[in-house]
Structure 1
Amino acid sequence: TGERQAARIRSLYLKTILKQDIAFFDTETNTGEVIGRMSGDTILIQDAMGEKVGKFTQLATSFFGGFVVAFIKGWRLALVLLACIPCVVVVGGVMSMLMAKMSTRGQAAYTEAGNVVDQTVGAIRTVASFTGEKKAIEKYNSRLKVAY
């Protein structure tokens, strides 16, 4: 899924940042930029991979086109199918609530993972001097696993 790929990209990005020389953090970047890139760019990738808009358009067109064909070919059967729509709507509503709950849980996990990045990059000299990069990556990955 798009969320899983975004989590993987975030993890690889953190690994790459932590492998940079200390001078990189003095001249090339700052903490805000690193965090902004980790959250902003990966969200764009996640949305593109999710293809939400295209999929919705495809499904809506198929649904309405199918009903037009059904009414033309067999209006009695189409009326029976029309009676099933309330059930489909209820199931869709339940799925939407579940997805919203999962999304909230995912955002909380990403916030915790972002805090790990903020602390790690903010104290990169200390992390590097104690060779804590591996532990920071493990901590970050453990926070991300809660999201999915």
Structure 2
Amino acid sequence: MDQNETIDKNVKSSNNKENFDKQNSFQKTCDKTENKKPIETVSIPSLFQYATILDIIYMLIGTTGGLGNGATFAALLFLIGNLLNSFTARSTDICTLNFTALAIEYCPPGYQLVASNYFSSSFICHFNQTTFDFQGAIEKQILYVVIIGCICLVLSYIQVTFWSMAAERQTKAIRKKIFQSILRKEIAYFDILKAGELYTKLTDNVDKIHDGIGDILGFIKGWKLTLAMLSLSPLLFISVALFSKLVSSLTAMELKAYGKAGAIAEEVFSSIRTVLSYNGQEREEK
């Protein structure tokens, strides 16, 4: 009787091992079929197909903030350029001044006026506004820079906040659509795609879409510098296009690998007793 039970256990063990091997062979066949399928790219308008009227309003507000941010950034560069020009122009003017004549006209008798003490002498010598207007001009430029910087900060906040709100609402709608689609699938679909892989695709893939909805940046400069920079723009566009294509392919490979790893890990953790009973630890570790 004990011998028959031993034989039955050995038969059941061999049958289970054969079923386990068949399942792995079926999974490998499915993986080969999946690898042969080309990766479908999604156009930019398709990313916003689940946007509501409120989302479109948010994106328009964020885009307006981004355009204003680019314009104020250009104005900020223009003001900083004027500020630097004021320093350089004033240095040139100082080198051409007649300090002896200025000292006789505006300074106390016997006071020696030179280029090194010209600005500090404004408290001793009574320069008129025309002669000594450098400090007022600099203060005015700095005030403009501070105002433009505050406006740029506000517009940047509007840009990032409203685009992030629109992205969050749309990714929530996409997750809901994916979940509803999964619930309508047949049972055979879950024999190929495991629950852990579905969870990974539901989170990581949608997070990539959320990160892809981004900001707007612009710049404005003098026409000579613009022409010089535009001469390099084709090379810049080509490099950006190649880099984007490389990143998209690597992202697809990353998501696919994470999905398979998540599926295997969750399946092993949920069925750890079965794995241990059939001594499948080494197989799962691979």
What's the TM-score, normalizing by structure 2? 0.26
What's the TM-score, normalizing by structure 1? 0.44
Structure richer in helix, relative to its length? 1
Larger C-alpha radius of gyration, 1 or 2? 2
